[in-house]
Structure 1
Amino acid sequence: MSPIRILILAILVYIAYRLVFGGKTIAGGGREPEKPERKEMPVDDVLEEDPVCGKLVPRKQAVRYLQGEKAVYFCSEECCGKYKDDQKD
């Protein structure tokens, strides 16, 4: 057999071995333990869109303006002032 055929045969044997005995193994000779499913973290804060400039701002850090019963959130005092001026017109 030529060296190329031996190399190809060795690669095929290795692939067959990985398919049959698959999975990752650890140093102790056993299989790697299953990873637990990731639990979703609870949402800590909500992003609000500034109606003036369109930036997304975390609700806890946003400047809040109460318009009747509705709260409007802004990225800065400047945007809040512009919004108030536009509402007066």
Structure 2
Amino acid sequence: MNIIKVVVILVVLYIVYRIVRMTGRAKVDKVKGYRVDDKPSEGEDLVQDPFCRTYVPKSQAYLREIEGRQQFFCSRECCEKYLSENK
């Protein structure tokens, strides 16, 4: 009789576990796959870094005026490398 109680309790616990997992998974599927600050911007221009040739959104680029022209860089480090190579 004790073995039957143990088996029934284990079966009930397993069923409850599966139900909880299924409801949790449904909530995860509804969540978008990006962070708030990673949302794609509609119509934002990309600019190319003249040093490493990567494209970055204009609003996130490092801006430096060089010889009267605006240059956009992906980072301050790329800007410094560009300036040191073009002296």
- TM-score, normalising length from structure 2? 0.48
Greater C-alpha radius of gyration: 1
